[in-house]
Amino acid sequence: MADFTPDEMMTIAAARALRNEDVCFVGIGAPSAACNVARLTHAPDITLIYESGTIGTAPEVLPLSIGDGELCDTAVTTVSVPEMFRYWLQGGRVTVGFLGAAQLDRFGNINTTVIGDYHKPTVRLPGGGGAPEIATSCGEIFITMKQGKRGMVDTIDFFTSLGHGSGGDDRARHGVTTKGPTLLVTDLAVWRPDPDTKEFTVVSLHPDVTREQVQDSCGWTVRFADTLEQTPPPSALELKTLRDLQERTRIAHGEAA
């Protein structure tokens, strides 16, 4: 049995996808952990941007919110929120947007708005925040989420942010010129969109994960690449970096009163 958890594998596999020269708009939660592991391992010069206006931030602990003070303390500069969304995001200066999802479909469309009907929701989720424009303005989009049939569904209840729409060139038909989702990292596998249909396809299974496990925790019929790779397990450095970061974070945020 490997000495790492599926969650750790997910975060580390997601971190590996980021490049040292990337300018990355960081979503909160799993994306934030992955982005900071990348910064603390192979991508020390990566520019991390949080929507609170903090540009080039290097937090010692993971922020609970997108606007914790440490993001500002360690940033190269902090701009207003209108400037963030106008000059930096809409201006096309962000190479990667890293998002999580409550509900995801096979084309990388994300729902974080409602479960059920919008006007009479079964569950009212927080909503999109920055995601609708992050999804269309960043050069490309990485998505990370744990697999599950409630999260990875055939049809999402609401289009919070556009992925590849109905597939193929649907994204371009919406007037969007950026690449959209190019990577999905789950706790079980690495997925890439098919070049033509844009459907997410499993290209790499994490260590000891089977095809059946991937299919059993996904709400659509999963496509697997012809040559399926195995994700390299976390290195000792990657694991230590992630665990140290999470331990510092746990201590810093304190226990709930």
Partner 1 sequence: MAKFQTLAEAVAENLKDGDTAAFEGFTHLIPHAAGHEAIRQGRRDLTLVRMTPDLIYDQMIGMGCASKLVFSYAGNPGVGLLRRVRDAIEKGWPNPVEIEEHSHAAMANAYEAGAAGLPCAVFRGYRGAGLAEVNPNIRSITCPFTGETLAAVPAIRPDVAFIHAQKANRRGDVLIEGIVGVQKEAVLAARRSVVTVEEIVADFDDVHPNACVLPHWTVTSIVEIPGGAHPSYAHGYYPRDNAFYLAWDKIATDRDGFLAWMKTNVIDSGPDAFAGRVVALNGKG
Nearer to partner 1, 195 or 254 (CB): 254
Closest separation between CB of residue 175 and partner 1, Å? Answer: 6
DSSP 163-210: SSTTSTTHHHHTT--S--EEEEE-SSEEEEE-TTT--EEEEEEPTT--
Tell me which of 51, 60, 199, 247 is the catalytic residue. 51
Q: How far is it, in rounded angstroms, from Cα 93 to Cα 218?
A: 34
Contact 130, 153 (CB under 8 A): no
Contact 198, 162 (CB under 8 A): no
Write the binding mask 193 to 222 for partner 1: x where contact by CB under 8 A, - elsewhere. Answer: ------------------------------
Residue 116 tokens read as: 């059920």
Query: How many residues in the shown chain lie near partner 1 by CB under 8 A?
Result: 61
Is there a catalytic annotation at residue 8? no
64 binds partner 1 (CB under 8 A): yes
Part of the chain binding partner 1 (CB under 8 A), chosen from 81-89, 182-190, 194-202, 234-242? 81-89
Q: How far is it, in rounded angstroms, from Cα 47 to Cα 81?
A: 17
151 binds partner 1 (CB under 8 A): no
115 binds partner 1 (CB under 8 A): no
Match 């990657």 to its residue by tokens: 238
Catalytic residue numbers read 51
User: Which residue ranges make up the site for partner 1 (CB under 8 A)?
Assistant: 28-29, 51-54, 63-72, 78-82, 84-86, 89-90, 113, 118-119, 121-133, 135-137, 158-162, 165, 171, 174-176, 252-257
